[in-house]
Amino acid sequence: MKLSDTITDDFFKGILDNNISMDVCGWLTAYDILSSMVSEAFIILDFKRKNIQYISNNDMIMCDHTNEMSTTFCFDFFEKVIHPKDILFCHSIIDAILDSPNNDELLVDQVNYFSFLLRIKNSLSSNRKSDYIMTYVKLKPLWSNDKLQYGICILSVSVIRKQEHQLCVHYKNMDHSSYSIKTKKWKHYEFSPLSKRQKEMLVWAQQGLSLKETADKMHVTDKTIESIRWTLFDKFGVKTIEQAIQYASNRRLIFNSPSVLSKSAPKVIK
């Protein structure tokens, strides 16, 4: 566990339901247990104090920067971790997220999380041409008085290597909006569910089955599976089945359901 010395009870008091009684140490223990069970990096950002409240031990994602980051706990350190080509992009998306409560184009009360791709410097690489790791970032916003106070971030390795400089917001009803850095405008998209056949194909592919093996499982021809794949590639804007699987998994398109807040779960400030 990496924890800021300045962490305060208000973070935990602010997001917890009044019926829940768990102290700070209890929640930190829960975060540590969760972090030890997943391959993603887990970070809590404090936008009000402009520091890092918590970061999990994950050198694969953070490229051996974890120990150094835990000693600084300030936003400035991110510029040492983020690839130089993504620093301006990172500032732009943070500004867009901070401004989202004032933007009439967004349904802020329905926001589930924001997502974007971010290149992290790869200090473990011996190849200068591969000097970064592309990560897929999910940022869960916690609001206080219509201002972003905390961001719970999950970073995972992305199989998509092309940085498209796009910020997305995902709503609780599965709709999403994309943000243009150039025009500073949001564009809304209604949820387009996958067909049962598309989901089944992705499930088999997710388990490592080849195109032919998937066709045998689904009792269809190889050309049918190939057609389903190309339809999804075009729909997702990806080029490989691995990218399609990650795209669908990140957005909960395979086993999808609207976001439901449990009575015993942390409560988002509105």
Query: CA angle, 246 as apex, 197 and 132 as ends, to 5°?
Result: 160
pTM exceeds cut of 0.75:
yes
Can you give the CATH number for the domain in which 44 is found? Answer: 3.30.450.20
Can you give the CATH number for the domain in which 208 is found? Answer: 1.10.10.10
Q: Are residues 59 and 157 in the same domain?
A: yes
The domain of 134 spans 2-85+112-163
Band of pLDDT at residue 104, cut at 50, 70 and 90: confident
- List, as one string, the DSSP characters of 107-127: -GGGEEEEEEEEEEE-TT-S-
Residue 179: φ, ψ to 5°? -115, 130
Q: How many CB atoms lie within 10 A of CB 60?
A: 13
Q: What pLDDT score was predicted for residue 17? A: 43
Q: Are residues 30 and 146 in the same domain?
A: yes
Q: What pLDDT score was predicted for residue 124? A: 65
| Least confident range of 47-51, 241-245, 265-269 | 265-269
pLDDT in tens, 64-98: 666 666 666 677 777 778 888 899 999 899 999 98
Q: Residue 90 and residue 78: Cα distance in Å, rounded?
A: 10
Decide: residue 126, CB within 10 A, 0-12 exposed, 13-18 middle, 19+ buried: exposed
List C-alpha distances in Å: 59 to 55, 116, 120, 128, 270: 11, 20, 11, 19, 34
pLDDT tops 70 at residue 267 = no
pLDDT tops 90 at residue 115 = yes
Q: What pLDDT score was predicted for residue 182? A: 82
